[in-house]
Each structure stands twice: as structure tokens, then as C-alpha cells.
Amino acid sequence: MEFRQIGVLGAGNIGSGVVTDLVLHGISVVVVDVSEEILHRAQADVLKNIRLAPLLSKTLPRVTKEEAGTRMVLTTDLKDLASCDFIIENVTENWEIKQQVYENLERVMRPEVCFGANTSCISITQIGSATKRPANVVGMHLMNPVYLKPTVEVIRGFHTSDRTLDILLQLFSRLNKEAIVVEDMPGFVSNRISHLFMNEAAFVLQDQVATAEQVDTIFKKCFGHKMGPLETADLIGLDTVMRSLDVLYESFQDPKYRCCTLLRKFVHAGHLGRKTGKGFYVYPEV
């Protein structure tokens, strides 16, 4: 597939990274979110990412601010997606919101267009059930920062067709990403496991066993991880981590996924991690 224009729904934390990656690889994007303010914030994030990309990676294509500008259309109107070849959906990790989005998408998109659901934990089979074309829905779990990550988890839902999977694999090949294709269950591989780490690290902090720095340092220096679990949670966004744990808890009916009270408290206090400047750590630059 040519991928002349891709629709990106949800221009939050991960959505702005997705737009950055597409624009860097010469793909035009129609970006949809619920307000002009969010769209303009996302556009500023994308332009900043594009400026910093050459400093962070030698292999990413170089793109000027002007070129990037011509490759992005920002809109709050879903109908503007009608000309797109493929949709990447990154709206809030909430089943009711995603369900409504897929019902609406079905009305505006041509029948052959496929939907890549970028979700942390919601089952791709469940997302497929929100449309009359579940064969066109495939899961993709991109990691932050999207344009710097060479690998992506791809999830085949119960009804995902070979054609849909193949189109997504073509897209990742264009973005120079290796795709690891797994079967569908809530949380897939990465988040089913990593959210237990992040949640338990929050419990360790809550129980005053160690400071956030100590927890993360043990993971980095003793296990050789690049980032510790609490830094990772801050990067993902504590609201998204909390919602993902709620999805895992609900889906598996297993108490091991109950969300740590301290983590939930931070979310209610508006301390969502890097994106708000405060989470388990403070980020003075935000």
C-alpha cells in the first residue's frame, strides 16, 4: 500500500509521537482530536520532536519545520478522515470512548480502510466488536517515544484478516520498525507483564520500603533495564497506567492487577507524570 495519507485519532502523549514518526517518514497525516487547543499542543510537540530527532538518532530522516507543516492537517471533524488510506487510533484508554469512536469511524471511512488500534491493554477482539468490519481491525502497541523505538508489538484480533495484518506490516516496514506479531488477550505481552512491575513499584513506594530513585536504580543497575518502573510509568502517563490496570483487573478478574491507591491518588491530584511536569518525579522543564 502507498500510504499517501494516514488518519491519526487522538493527539495525546502517544498520538503526537505517532504523528512525528509518520511525518518524519514522508507520510501526510490528518490528526483528529476533540479540541483545537489539544491539536495545537500536539502540533507544537511534533515540531519540537522533529527539531530534536537529528540529535537523538542518526538514522531518522531529516525534515524541516516547513515540510512537517505541509504534512499535517489538524481537525476536530472526523469526516476529514474520509480521504485517508489507513487509520491509527490512539484515543483515551477507555472502552466507552473507543467504542463510540469506532462506531463513528465506520460511518465515514471507505469499507476497505483498515484501523490500527494503538491500545495499552484493551482486547483487539473487543475493539473489533465495536465495528461491523472486525476483519479490518488490528492491534498495535507502540512505545514512547514512538519515533525512536525500532520495535512494535502487533496484535492479531480474533477476526483480523491476513490483508489487514499485511497492510500494517507494510506500514511498519516503511517506518523501519520490526513488528512482533502476537495473539490477542488483554494487555498482550508487554503490558500484561510491565504493568505488574509498575504497579508493584508504586506499592513499594507507598509502603515506604524505598524511594522512587532507589526503586528505579535497582532496576537499572542490578537488572540492566534502561529505565526503572516508576520512570516508565511517568513516561507513559499515570492516568493511562491507571486505566490500563483497571482494564486488566476487569478483564482477568484477577486481584493481582488492582491499582495501587497511591498511583490513583497521584492521578486524581493531576500529577500524571512527564506530561504534566509531576508524577513520581518532578520535571521542571514542563
Q: Which residues lie closer than 8 Å to 126 by C-beta, 6 or more apart?
A: 95
Alpha-carbon distance 284 to 120, whole Å?
27
Active site residue 141: yes
Phi, psi of 245 (to 5 degrees): -65, -40
173 burial (CB, 10 Å; 0-12 / 13-18 / 19+) is: exposed
**9 binding ligand NAD? (CB under 6 A):** yes
**43 binding ligand NAD? (CB under 6 A):** no
Nearest CB to ligand NAD, comparing residues 67 and 252:
252
Alpha-carbon distance 165 to 156, whole Å?
7
**193 binding ligand NAD? (CB under 6 A):** no
Residues 6, 8, 38, 130: which binds ligand NAD (CB under 6 A)?
38
List binders of ligand NAD among 50-89 (CB under 6 A): none
How close are the terminal C-alpha atoms of the chain, in Å? Answer: 39
**7 binding ligand NAD? (CB under 6 A):** no
Residues 12, 157, 229, 273: which binds ligand NAD (CB under 6 A)?
12
**14 binding ligand NAD? (CB under 6 A):** yes
> Could you say which of 25, 141, 195, 268 is catalytic?
141
Q: How far is the CB of 104 from ligand NAD (least distance, A)?
A: 8
Window 133-172: contact mask with ligand NAD (x via CB under 6 A): --------xxxx----------------------------
CA-wise closest residue to 240 among 45, 38, 88, 92: 92
Q: CA separation (Å) from 263 to 1, 64, 210?
A: 42, 39, 16
Amino acid at 52: L
Residues 20, 120, 125, 126: which binds ligand NAD (CB under 6 A)?
120
Phi, psi of 31 (to 5 degrees): -105, 125
Put the strands of the sheet holding 151-156 in their side by side order. Answer: 72-75, 28-32, 5-9, 86-89, 114-117, 137-141, 151-156, 178-183
Q: Which stretch binds ligand NAD (CB under 6 A): 44-52, 220-228, 236-244, 257-265?
A: 236-244
Residues 7, 139, 187, 237: which binds ligand NAD (CB under 6 A)?
237
Alpha-carbon distance 247 to 190, whole Å?
14
Residues 6, 8, 11, 245: which binds ligand NAD (CB under 6 A)?
11
Q: How far is the CB of 188 from ligand NAD (least distance, A)?
A: 10
Alpha-carbon distance 204 to 141, whole Å?
27
Neighbours of 8 (CB within 10 A): 27
Nearest CB to ligand NAD, comparing residues 133 and 275:
275
Q: How far is the CB of 100 from ligand NAD (least distance, A)?
A: 6
**248 binding ligand NAD? (CB under 6 A):** no
Window 202-221: contact mask with ligand NAD (x via CB under 6 A): --------------------
Cell numbers standing for residue 232: 516508565
Interface residues with ligand NAD (CB under 6 A) are 9-15, 32-34, 38, 90-93, 97, 101, 118-120, 141-144, 236-237, 240, 244
Catalytic positions, written as ranges: 141
